[in-house]
A = this chain, B = another copy of it.
Amino acid sequence: MSKAIPEPVTNLIEAFSRLPGIGPKTASRLTYYLLRTPDDITLQLADALRDLKAETRFCSVCYNITVDDPCAICSDAQRDAETIAVVEEPLDVLALERTGVYQGRYHVLHGAISPVNGIGPDELKIRELVQRVVQEHILEVIIATNPGLEGDATAMYIQRELTGKGVKLTRLARGLPVGSDIEYADSVTVTRALQGRSEM
């Protein structure tokens, strides 16, 4: 059977299969798609992959992905240097930046505490966060971890680490997403929405 598939084809199918959410079927469909398309689509993807590893690093201050160190946000004097939003992943920084409302800086943990997956506090950039809070005289830390078990555990751990450091700790509100139907909301979300209700 393998006679029918040349090695460069199986190699690419295998390489695609290693990506999350891409099974062997999708991997071979992508590979055969690239075989049929002009070379430049394939080569641009190859170049982009190389550049990603060659040209990006983690910001030494906030651990977001960056080309220059420190990153554009950390070195922007216009931004509020006394507020830090703590997020799990670089993509979360984007979500907050898209609002255009947040003017502070960030701290990327690169994950959340998850005993099931063997991820403890030492695997995350929590020690570095505590250090920043002390050294940079931070006034407020906004914990923006995901609203779920792991995000909650991480938030609680950070809360314990920062207690007594003279910093205000807040967490993003949990409640009904805008545009949603109460009818279809899960009960945990409705509970949170009730607990966090505000005066009109």
Binding site for B on A (CB under 8 A): 1, 3-9, 11-12, 14-16, 18-22, 26, 28-36, 39, 41-56, 64-67, 72-73, 76, 89-91, 93-94, 97-98, 100, 110
CA gap between A128 and B15 in the complex, in Å: 34
Which residue of A20, A45, A91, A93 has the most chain B CB atoms within 10 A of its CB atom? A45
Q: Which residues of B contact A31 (CB under 8 A)?
A: 52
> Are B93 and A4 in contact, with the CB atoms below 8 A?
yes
> Are A12 and B48 in contact, with the CB atoms below 8 A?
yes
> Are B43 and A49 in contact, with the CB atoms below 8 A?
yes
> Are B9 and A65 in contact, with the CB atoms below 8 A?
yes
Select one of B26, B39, B52 contacting A34, CB under 8 A: B52
Q: A3-B73, A12-B49, A15-B44 known; 8 other A-B pairs, CB under 8 Å?
A: A1-B94, A1-B98, A8-B54, A15-B48, A35-B65, A42-B53, A43-B49, A49-B49
